[in-house]
Amino acid sequence: MKWKTDSEVAVITQNFTRRCGTRTENEDWNIYWANAATVKGIFHPESGQRLGDAQLINHYPNHYELTRKDLMVKNIKRYLRDASRDATADLPPDFVPVTYMLPADYSLFVEEFRRCPNAMWIMKPANAAQGRGIFIINKLSQIKRWSNGRWANMPLKEAYVISRYIEDPMLIGGKKFDLRLYVLVTSYRPLRVYQYDAGFARFCNVKYSSQAGELNNPFIHLTNVAIQKHNDDYNVKHGGKWNLQHVRLFVEATWGREASAKLFDDIDRIIIHSLKAVQGSIINDRHCFECYGYDILIDARLRPWLVEVNASPSLSTTTHSDRVMKMALIRDVLDVVLPKDITNYRGAFTLGPCEDAGGFSVLYDEALEAQLKAEAEQAAPNRGAQRRGSQAGAKQAPSRFF
């Protein structure tokens, strides 16, 4: 088996060396861990490149339908609007904060801002990561001052999103945090989703405050490790991270087991419905899989909010426990996606049974859900006939005694 990668991150190269054998720099590869730009080039219609049956790559051609912030919001809004017409749909409450695209939706944003003049808003580049270009505002003049001369010829790829800031986040030790969860998709049609059991919480280094004077302090508001590691109080031993299981225990101890179970069930539903929101848009190439990094913020009422979905979640390691977890993550990704004999690969992993593997548990299997629904619908008329028969028998029974 031959492998290729654009990255020199140790958890990738070491896992591939142990599991996949020979590294190659040419086009004769079986599995390619590529960056998003490379994948875009490979699948570009003018590239002339066609993947072989025995080749797998770690992104879908248009993954940005979910991982670009503006497209994610647009797709989820449309999906929730359409799905709400189905009375049987098990939809979570709105799980994306009120969001507008700038400069396109500036007038709509102004109307909303004037309805809630005391609200805080967070601005983010639609296509950036690691906290770059993010800032918080609470006055229209701040946007006007910032946008002066910027928007006249701004290309779409440099657009911004502005979202209602969650001003009452759940705090632990007085500090804001969010959750980083890993979700593996091996097929969009049918949708097959695995969730990793070893996510973590990322904490700010400074205690939370929503006071206007603190809006420009990223160490209070932005949980990105790329930002927090520059703070003087950054702890290199634990990296400002907390194991997901510790978060669960904290919630159980503070709010009770029932509330904790509901919270994490709601998070699971957010993941499933966000993927369903782009299911019709994603090009479901059988050569592709994707390991997403989901960022979830929990508010003080234990309501989870989807902040963003990362196509290339950071695999660099800042602590020993970080390295152990991410080494296991990539190992388990390979256990799920790689057929036993890739030289005879024919896309089998999108067909047979969808099963737990390593630290990954099956979160959603659309084919199985459809099968169970069909069986339930088939059984319903039979149960109805049995009930009608028993009722008729009950009505006729007394006549035998007269």
H-assigned helices in 205-298 = 218-221, 225-228, 244-255, 257-279
Domain housing 32? 2-64
Q: Which two tokens stand for residue 333?
A: 């990704």
What is the per-residue pLDDT for 126? 85
DSSP string across 305-342? EEEEEESS-----SSHHHHHHHHHHHHHHHHHHS-S-G
What is the per-residue pLDDT for 401? 27
Considering the domain boundaries, does residue 118 fall inside one? yes
Is residue 10 domain-shared with residue 58, that is, in the same domain? yes
Considering the domain boundaries, does residue 228 fall inside one? no
Considering the domain boundaries, does residue 402 fall inside one? no
Looking at per-residue confidence, does 128 or 5 come out higher? 5
Model confidence, pTM: 0.89
Mean pLDDT of 339-350: 53
What is the per-residue pLDDT for 153? 64
Q: Is 383 a residue whose pLDDT tops 70?
A: no
Is residue 102 domain-shared with residue 161, that is, in the same domain? yes
Instruction: Identify the burial level of 40 via C-beta atoms within 10 angstroms of its C-beta, where 0-12 means exposed, 13-18 middle and 19 or more buried.
Output: middle
Per-residue burial over 147-185, b if 16 or more Cβ lie within 10 Å, else e, is: beeeeeeeeeeebbbbbbbbeebbebeebbbbbbbbbbb
* Cα torsion 243, 261, 277, 70: sign: negative
Nearest by Cα to 350 from 189, 194, 195, 196: 189
Residue at which a domain ends, from 165, 197, 220: 165
Write out pLDDT tens, residues 268-316: 999 999 999 999 999 999 899 999 999 999 999 999 999 999 999 989 8
Looking at per-residue confidence, does 343 or 71 come out higher? 71
Residue at which a domain ends, from 149, 165, 181: 165
Q: Is 198 a residue whose pLDDT tops 90?
A: yes
Write out pLDDT tens, residues 146-179: 777 666 666 666 688 999 999 999 999 999 999 9
Angle between helices 257-279 and 244-255 (to 10 degrees): 130
What is the per-residue pLDDT for 149? 63
Considering the domain boundaries, does residue 106 fall inside one? yes
What is the per-residue pLDDT for 65? 96
Grouping H, G, I as helix, E, B as strand and the rest as coil, residue 352 is coil
Q: Which two tokens stand for residue 238?
A: 């634990």
Task: Give the Cα separation of 263 and 248 in Å (integer).
Answer: 9
Cβ contact 67:292 at 8 Å: yes
Confidence of residue 388 (pLDDT cuts 50, 70, 90): low
Cβ contact 96:71 at 8 Å: no
Residue at which a domain ends, from 18, 49, 64: 64
Q: How many domains does the chain have?
A: 2
Considering the domain boundaries, does residue 134 fall inside one? yes
Considering the domain boundaries, does residue 46 fall inside one? yes
Confidence of residue 31 (pLDDT cuts 50, 70, 90): very high
Amino acid at 175: K
Q: Is 15 a residue whose pLDDT tops 90?
A: yes
What is the per-residue pLDDT for 390? 54
Is residue 155 domain-shared with residue 109, that is, in the same domain? yes
Q: Is 381 a residue whose pLDDT tops 60?
A: yes
Q: Is 190 a residue whose pLDDT tops 60?
A: yes
Give the range among 21-30, 81-90, 330-339, 386-395 with minimum mean pLDDT: 386-395
Per-residue burial over 197-235, b if 16 or more Cβ lie within 10 Å, else e, is: ebbbbbbbbbebebeeeebeebbbbbbbbebbeeeeebe
Cβ contact 124:134 at 8 Å: yes
Task: Give the Cα separation of 310 and 129 in Å (integer).
Answer: 8
CATH number of the domain within which 109 lies: 3.30.1490
Q: Is 349 a residue whose pLDDT tops 50?
A: no
Considering the domain boundaries, does residue 243 fall inside one? no
What is the per-residue pLDDT for 90? 78
Q: Which two tokens stand for residue 204?
A: 């700010």
| DSSP conformation class of 279 | H
Considering the domain boundaries, does residue 205 fall inside one? no
286 HSE (CA, 13 A, CB side): 12
